[in-house]
Structure 1
């Protein structure tokens, strides 16, 4: 079992990756280094439990010395790190158990490095603490602010009253702005991963959400694929210039 401690471009953020396949481990290290991360390795899952707290933990379930689910449970008990399970186990029962044991996300192999990096960025935006001790509890996207702790949303400084489902949908989209998120993924996050009803229910809530935010173009529809928050990189500059 190989474990890598990775620091993103900000030295305050650390990621611990657990991977037992040497080929995958090598590819991950190289890919992470190209993406601006640093990496080192240890051999056993038990060593991950002895390591200083990390901001994000990428955890393979197939550990040679300790059951991966047990590692997940013990890590969750000892820290508030974001835990992303990275495994070849794609069964629903494994997903449910891992999430129940404290995992924040679940990624099934094979996967692309770009998706993995996006998942890391997303869990960091959801409010997990960094090793510097500060929490990223507010998601910002142009004039849109989402306070995850108080569950308050403001648009251009004005508070927007949302239903719990509307808030969950917006949080899902804002966790990784610009990423195309499928209709099914949004439904699973906002409702339940066991939701078997029509996903058309999402359209009703999206229409209300767009109306309340006052900017219908903020949430883009990519027909046949899903939804994403529009690129609003210029919005903050426009707002600043207006001030």
Structure 2
């Protein structure tokens, strides 16, 4: 049975809404304007800024640049009747984007849903769907994201010898304050939040420097070395920042 989205006459792609002053920017990645129709049905009073782009089995140069430069709050990806190759686009997006990611698909496949979530999706929706349901799901994801962000901002992050207080931007090693630059603090915070997981240079450059790693620049390596030296001199022994050659960096708790 056709969905209400598919019956809409206005099929013009929805471009950026410049008149709305919203803090939530949505990037709609699609090839058939299905998502654009959904937003057109609901009207422009939702307060979201939306940008529509298309992609294939690999990310275009335009899309990569947009992910780094514009840093949308959410991506809604319509993979249509996808195959396993196209689904890998999710993993490529996750290298450059750590925000909310919703996948919309024509296939009601249990394995595809598992693969999508494994690659980094936050939600998986099956077409056809009611446009109001799509909007409610998007709003719910933003609510959960904001609640989690507020909780993290107020909490201390502690592991082994290290304790970070994000709100005051203070770092403690064994209870003593360690003076870090803003970049060093943010670098350590990202490593601590992902402790036990390898973070690639691409991910760190995008998160901390908001640009794509060019494969040559050594800025991150120098800053990482300086951070390690400060933490070691401060007496950190229960943790280590490990270099995983060819992959990136990982923060570990080595205490017994």
Higher RCO (CA < 8 A, seq sep 6+): 2
TM-score (normalised: structure 2): 0.47
Bigger Cα Rg: 2
